[in-house]
Structure 1
Amino acid sequence: MRTRRNRLALFTAPVLVLAACSSGPDQPDSVAGAFADALNRDDLAAAAALTDDPAAANATLGALYDGLGKEATFEVRSTDKDTFTLAATWKFGAEGKSGEWAYTTTGTAAEGDDGWKIAWNPTTLAPGLDTGPLTYSPVYPTPARVLDASGGDLMTEQEVTLVNVAEGADTAALAALLGPIVDDITEASLRQDLAAAQGKPVTALALREQDLAPIRARLDGMSGVTLAPQNRLLTTDKALASPALSGLTELWQQDRDAHAGWAVRAQTAEGTERVAGADPTPTTDLATTLDIDTQNAAEAALDSIPQPAAIVALRPSNGAVVAVAQNEPADGQGPIALTGLYPPGSTFKTVTASAALQTGAVTPDTVLPCPGSADIEGRRIPNDDNFDLGAVPLHAAFAHSCNTTMGALGVKLPPDGLTKAAAQLGLGVDYITPGLTTVTGKVPAADTPAQRVESAIGQGEVTASPFGMALVAASVAHGRPPAPMLVLGQQGVADSTQEPLPQPVADQLKSMMRETITSGTATQLNDIPGLLGKTGTAEYIDDEHAHGWFVGIDGDLAFAVFISDAGSSTPAVDAAGRMLRARR
C-alpha cells in the first residue's frame, strides 16, 4: 500500500513508499502535482517533459505564457484513478489588477515505459486552447470626455497616426514634409534620432488627421516610412497647451483602466473567438475647472514674450484652477507654472506686510521712512532706481514697493515670522490635488537679522512658484488659502493646518494692493475697475539679472504672472493687462 501525499501544497515533499509497493512517485496525483509545480515556477520545459508529447506541449506553453502573461497559479484539486482536476488563476494587467480568470480543467495520466506521463491535451492547460493560441487584452468602455468649466469638450479620444521611420528612408524629403508642421524636425534631427536608435525604427511624429491628410499620399509612397494609427486623448483645440493637461490625461487613463473589462480570445483560422472575459463598466466624463476663455487669454498674453513666462489663475471663492499657461520657451524648461521655484521679489511684500501688521506694531497708516537706500544689518538695500519717498504711511510704501521700508520691518520680526505669515497665505504649504503636481514655494526661518532683511523683500532663500504666488493672491482675497481644485469636486489637501489670516489684515492688504494699481507701481492697469495687485522684481545670479512678477485680484479671479529674466516687473504687468482686457 502506498501512502498518498497531500495536494499541491505538499507535492514537493517526497512520496512515502512501502516495501511491498511499486517504487517512485508515478501515480496520477504525483505527476499532476509536479506538472503544476513546474508551471508555478515558470519552468515550461520541465512541465512539458512531464507530458507524453514534450515538443507540442512546450510550444503551446510558450505561446500561452506569451499571450496571457506569467501571473498564473496552478493547483491540483483532486485525482481519481488516471484523471485529475487542475485549477488555474490568471491575473492580468499591471500587478494583476486589471482582471482575473479562474477556471478548472480535467487531465489524464497514464503509465508508460518511462513512468507516469500526462496525456498531452491543450485543454488541460486552459479552455479554448485547442481552438488556437490564447491572448489577453483589456476591453475599454466608451471613452470619457474631459470637459472645461462650461461643460464643453476640452479633451477627447482621437485617432492620431504615428510616422515611423527606418534606416534608409529619405530623411531630407521627410523633413521637408514634417518640418512645416513641427519646425524642430529637420533632416539632421531625423538622422540623429535614427543613429541613437541603433538600427531600430523611430517615431518622428504623431499627426492629427487634419495635418496628415494633405501629405498622406506622399508619406505612403516613401520607402522606410510607415504609418501606424492609434487612439490618444487630445485637446479638441490643437492650439491649446497647458501643463495642467498632463495630469488630466493621467487621471483619465486611471479612470479608464479602473472601468476596463478584459477578454481572453482564441486565434482561429476565421479570426478570434472570445473564450472568457468581463465587460467594462461605464465611465463618467471628467469635469474640470479650467475656463477656456481665461486659458486662451493667458496663453495669448504670453505668446509675444521671448523669455520663459507663465500665468496661473485661481478662483479665490473655491480654489478652482481656471488657467495654467506657459509659452514655448517655458515649455522647454518643464511645468514651471506649477513647480518652478524662483525668488518672488516684491510680490512677497504681501507676506511681509501681513506679518508686520499682525504684530500690532504698525498699521497701514503708520508713517515710516522710505529712503532711496539703507544699510540694514550689514546689507545695503536700495529701492528701484534709488527712489526716495521720505517718510510715508505704510500703505504708500507698499504701493510704491519700498524695499528699504520692508527690509526695516522684516528685521524686527521673529525668525519664523515670515514663515508663518507665508503659510497663512498658502506659500510653503504642499497640496495633494487630483490632476495637479504643484510646489508652492519655500520660506525657511531666517535666523539672523541679515537673513530677515533679505527674506522681507522676497530675496535670499525665499522662493515661490507662479502657482504659489497665485495662491497667495487668492488667500488675500478669500481670507485664507482656498483648497486648490482642478477636477470639479476633488479639492486638494494641504500637508499642514495653518492659523487663519485675521480678516482685518486681509482687508488691509487688499486696500494696499488696490493702491498699487491706482497710484503705485502698476498704474498702467488703472483702467481695469477694482483690480488689486502687487508688482515684483527679483534679482538672481547678480544685480544685472532680474525676474518680473505681478500678482493680482480681479473679482473672483486671483492670478500670478512670472517672466524669467524680464529685467523688471513691467513686462509681467503688461501681460496681466493683455489677459484681463481680453476677458472683458
Structure 2
Amino acid sequence: MKIWVKRATTAACAAVTCAVMVSSCGFAGSSDTGAAATIDAFAAALSRQDAGGAATFTTAPGQAGDSLTTTLKQMSAQRVDVDVENPVEYSDGTATFSVTTTWNWDKGRVYESTSGGTARKLSSGWKVTWDPAILHAGLTAGGTLREIRTDAKPAPTVRSRSGRAFMVAQPVNEIVLDPTRTADLNASVRALAGVIAPIAPMITGQVIREKLDATPGKAITAVGLRDSDMQVLAGDPRRVPGVTVNRSDQLVMADRRLSSPLEDGLTNYWQAIRDATAGWQVEMLGPGAAPRKLAGEQGPPGPDVPTTVDQGVQLTLGDAAVEVGQPATILTLDAQTGAILGMAQNSFAIDSGVDIDRPYPVGTTLNPVFDAIGRAAGPQHERGEQLLDRLGLGVQFTVPGASVPTPDRPGIATIDFRPGQSMISMTNMAAFGVAMARSAAGQTSSVPPFVLKNVPTKVSGGDLGGLDPAVVRPVLQAMTSTAATGDASDLTRAPGLRALVGTNGPEGPGWFVGLQGGQVVVIYTEGPKSGTAALQVAQKYFTIK
C-alpha cells in the first residue's frame, strides 16, 4: 500500500485497514518532517550547488559529498534547477521520487535529465538513499558528470604572408611542480632539472626555485615541451615527487628556430577565433569506462589566420637581436604599406618585459622631427599636435595580432617638446618610419602598422592623414645626413639608408629607425651605451639580411 504524502488526509487514513492505519497515519500529512520534506531539502541544497548541505540529507554523507562536489565542480553551471516530482511514501518506511535536473550555462546552453531515487526512514529521520543515479540515470558508484569545451578540428593555422604555416596547434606537455605534493621540495627541484636538462638546459634548478619563490605554495610550470621533446628527456618527469604533466593543444611556432614577441598577440587573436567557434559537451564518467557523451553541440572550424609576417625576415631578425648582451628588440615593416614583416628580441629584452605597446623615453632620437614641427606650427599648439598625429607619433595604436593591451599599459604616446621628456612605443616609431618612407616615395599620407591581413588597426587619440612637406622634407634630410656623415655613417651593406639614432642619456634607452631596401627598421635597446648597441644590431641585420 502507498500513501501520497502531499494529499494524505485523516479521512484517507480512516479508509485503510486498521493494521496499516497506525503506521501510515502517524506521518501522513506531516510534510515538514516526512519523506517529501527531506527530498525537497536535498533538492533545494543541490539547486544552490551546496554539495555538503545536500549530502547531509542522504544515507551516506561522505560518499554523497565527494560525488556531488566533484560533479558540481566539473559541470560548472551558472544555475542548477532541481525539481522533485511524485514523492511517494510507503507504509514500510520507504519512499520514491522522480527528479528533473536542469543545468544552465551562458549562451543559452541547457542540459536536462530525469532520474529517480528512494528515501528511507531511519532512527535519525528520513534520508535520501544515496545513489549517484539520482544525478543522472545510469551513473554508477564513483561516477560523475562533467561539462567540457570542445573545439572543432582542424584548429586554425597562423600563416605567413606567403601562405606557409607560421604557427600551428600542437600537443604541448606542461611539466608542473606542486610544492604541496612533495615531502622534499629541494630534492624534487634537483631531480626535475636533471630530467629536463637534455632538452631545456636553461631551466636549471635555480630557475625552477625562482619560479616557486615568486608564487609561494603554488604550483608552477617549469617548462612546456612538445611530444618530440619528451622522447629525449633523461627520465620520466612524472616519477619526480610533486610533478605532473598536463597535455593540451597550444599554438606554437611551426619552425622551431623562430621566436617572436608577436606570438602573444597572434595567439590571443587565434584564441578569440577558437572561442567564437567553440562547442560544448556533457559527459558521463565512470571508473574504467570511456567518457560517454550525453549532449552537446559543435560548430565548424574557424578560418586560418593570414598574417604579413615573412619567415625569412623573422629568422634574420632573431639572429640580429642576439648580437648584443643587453636588452634589444628589432621590428621591420614594409615601407609602403606598414605591414609588419617580423619582430624579434633577445632574452635580456624578454626578461625586461619590453613590448611593442609600452611607451619608452625617446631621448634625442626625434629632435629633428620636433624641430621641424616647431617651425611648421609656430605658436599654434593644436597645429603641432596635429602634425605629430599624422606622423603616427601622437596617437595610440591597437594592432590586432600584435598589441596585447592591459589597463596599466595603454600604449599612449606622450609627446613633450622639452628634451628627454617624450615617450613613445615601438609601434609609434614604426608608424613614423613608414610615414617617412611613404613621403620619400611620393606618397602624401600616413598609414598604421598592421600584421593581420584584412584586419584594420585601431587608431585613437588623433588622426593619421596628409603629410606636410614642410615637416617631412627637413626630417628626410636629417635622416639622410645621419646615415651619410652622422651617427649611422659607419653602417655598411645598407645602400640608400636614411636613419635617425638617439639615446636618452648614458643609461639609455637607445633607438634606431631606418629606411632601407623597401623596409622600415626600428630597433630599441636598453642599458649603458644603448645607442651603440642599437647600431650594432642594425649592422648585424644589414649584414645578414
TM-score (norm 2): 0.75
Matched, 1:39 2:43: no
Residue among 483, 504, 514 paired with 1:552: 514
**Matches of 1:221 and 1:119 in 2, distance apart?**
40
Q: 1:526-545 residue pairs with structure 2 within 5 A? A: 528-533=494-499, 535-540=500-505, 544-545=506-507
Sort the Cα spacing of 1:201 and 1:228 in 2 relative to 1 into closer, same or farther, 3 A.
Answer: same
Please give the secondary structure, in 2, of the residue aligned with 1:289. Answer: coil
Please give the secondary structure, in 2, of the residue aligned with 1:296. Answer: helix
Please give the secondary structure, in 2, of the residue aligned with 1:74. Answer: strand
Give the aligned residue type for 2:324. Answer: I
1:212-235 C-alpha deviation (Å, 9 max, x unpaired): 433344x56976485726233221
- State the 1:88 CA deviation: 3.4
Sort the Cα spacing of 1:413 and 1:477 in 2 relative to 1 into closer, same or farther, 3 A.
Answer: farther
Sort the Cα spacing of 1:155 and 1:500 in 2 relative to 1 into closer, same or farther, 3 A.
Answer: closer
Structure 1: gaps of 5 or more residues: 5-20, 360-411, 447-451
Q: 1:562-577 residue pairs with structure 2 within 5 A? A: 562-565=524-527, 567=529, 569-577=531-539
More off after superposition, 314-323 vs 296-305 = 314-323
**Matches of 1:225 and 1:461 in 2, distance apart?**
50
Sort the Cα spacing of 1:127 and 1:255 in 2 relative to 1 into closer, same or farther, 3 A.
Answer: farther
Residue among 302, 305, 309 paired with 1:290: 309
Matched, 1:437 2:408: no
- State the 1:314 CA deviation: 2.5
Please give the secondary structure, in 2, of the residue aligned with 1:552. Answer: strand
Alignment correspondent of 2:435:
475
- State the 1:462 CA deviation: 0.7
Please give the secondary structure, in 2, of the residue aligned with 1:90. Answer: strand
Alignment correspondent of 1:64:
71
Alignment correspondent of 1:390:
none
Sort the Cα spacing of 1:179 and 1:48 in 2 relative to 1 into closer, same or farther, 3 A.
Answer: closer
Matched, 1:90 2:100: no
Is this contact kept in 1: 2:397–2:428, CA < 8 A? no
Is this contact kept in 1: 2:188–2:240, CA < 8 A? yes
Alignment correspondent of 1:125:
135
Matched, 1:264 2:282: yes
Matched, 1:102 2:119: no
Residue among 228, 231, 246 paired with 2:245: 228
Sort the Cα spacing of 1:146 and 1:36 in 2 relative to 1 into closer, same or farther, 3 A.
Answer: same
Residue among 309, 317, 321 paired with 1:302: 321
1:78-126 C-alpha deviation (Å, 9 max, x unpaired): 669788765433246xxx46x8342142547789699887676644433
Please give the secondary structure, in 2, of the residue aligned with 1:310. Answer: strand
Q: 1:252-401 residue pairs with structure 2 within 5 A? A: 252-281=270-299, 282-357=301-376, 359=377
Q: 1:391-470 residue pairs with structure 2 within 5 A? A: 413-415=379-381, 418-435=384-401, 436-437=403-404, 442-444=413-415, 452=417, 454=418, 459-470=419-430
Matched, 1:138 2:138: no
Please give the secondary structure, in 2, of the residue aligned with 1:294. Answer: helix
Give the aligned residue type for 2:139. Answer: L
Is this contact kept in 1: 2:198–2:232, CA < 8 A? no
- State the 1:461 CA deviation: 1.9
- State the 1:25 CA deviation: 4.7
Is this contact kept in 2: 1:106–1:124, CA < 8 A? yes
- State the 1:500 CA deviation: 2.9
1:501-534 C-alpha deviation (Å, 9 max, x unpaired): 345346625742345434555334575344332x
Residue among 428, 441, 450 paired with 1:485: 450
- State the 1:277 CA deviation: 2.9
Sort the Cα spacing of 1:140 and 1:161 in 2 relative to 1 into closer, same or farther, 3 A.
Answer: same
**Matches of 1:227 and 1:53 in 2, distance apart?**
32
Give the aligned residue type for 1:539. Answer: N
Please give the secondary structure, in 1, of the residue aligned with 2:326. Answer: coil
Is this contact kept in 2: 1:148–1:289, CA < 8 A? yes
- State the 1:293 CA deviation: 1.9
Give the aligned residue type for 1:433. Answer: V
**Matches of 2:64 and 2:495 in 1, distance apart?**
80
Give the aligned residue type for 2:266. Answer: L
1:22-45 C-alpha deviation (Å, 9 max, x unpaired): 455579987665444322222334
Q: 1:203-218 residue pairs with structure 2 within 5 A? A: 203-217=221-235
Sort the Cα spacing of 1:292 and 1:48 in 2 relative to 1 into closer, same or farther, 3 A.
Answer: same
Is this contact kept in 1: 2:329–2:345, CA < 8 A? yes
Matched, 1:169 2:180: no
Please give the secondary structure, in 2, of the residue aligned with 1:295. Answer: helix
- State the 1:440 CA deviation: 5.3
Is this contact kept in 1: 2:115–2:137, CA < 8 A? no
- State the 1:262 CA deviation: 2.7
- State the 1:469 CA deviation: 0.9
1:552-582 C-alpha deviation (Å, 9 max, x unpaired): 2235422312222453745434433432453
Over aligned residue pairs, what C-alpha RMSD do you find? 4.0
More off after superposition, 311-320 vs 104-113 = 104-113
**Matches of 1:200 and 1:539 in 2, distance apart?**
40
Alignment correspondent of 2:18:
none
Residue among 151, 154, 157 paired with 2:166: 154
Please give the secondary structure, in 2, of the residue aligned with 1:67. Answer: helix
**Matches of 1:554 and 1:415 in 2, distance apart?**
33
Sort the Cα spacing of 1:499 and 1:524 in 2 relative to 1 into closer, same or farther, 3 A.
Answer: same
Sort the Cα spacing of 1:553 and 1:566 in 2 relative to 1 into closer, same or farther, 3 A.
Answer: farther
TM-score (norm 1): 0.71
Give the aligned residue type for 1:298. Answer: L
**Matches of 1:464 and 1:332 in 2, distance apart?**
20
Alignment correspondent of 1:579:
541
Is this contact kept in 2: 1:477–1:510, CA < 8 A? no
- State the 1:205 CA deviation: 3.0
Please give the secondary structure, in 1, of the residue aligned with 2:494. Answer: coil
Alignment length (residue pairs):
493
- State the 1:243 CA deviation: 1.5
Sort the Cα spacing of 1:70 and 1:418 in 2 relative to 1 into closer, same or farther, 3 A.
Answer: same
1:108-148 C-alpha deviation (Å, 9 max, x unpaired): 77896998876766444334434832233322222322222
Please give the secondary structure, in 1, of the residue aligned with 2:504. Answer: strand
Sort the Cα spacing of 1:305 and 1:102 in 2 relative to 1 into closer, same or farther, 3 A.
Answer: same
**Matches of 2:369 and 2:271 in 1, distance apart?**
40
**Matches of 2:101 and 2:113 in 1, distance apart?**
6
Is this contact kept in 2: 1:291–1:323, CA < 8 A? yes
1:135-170 C-alpha deviation (Å, 9 max, x unpaired): 333222223222222222222223344445653637
- State the 1:302 CA deviation: 2.2
Structure 2: gaps of 5 or more residues: 8-27, 90-95, 439-443
Residue among 239, 243, 260 paired with 2:261: 243
- State the 1:69 CA deviation: 2.8
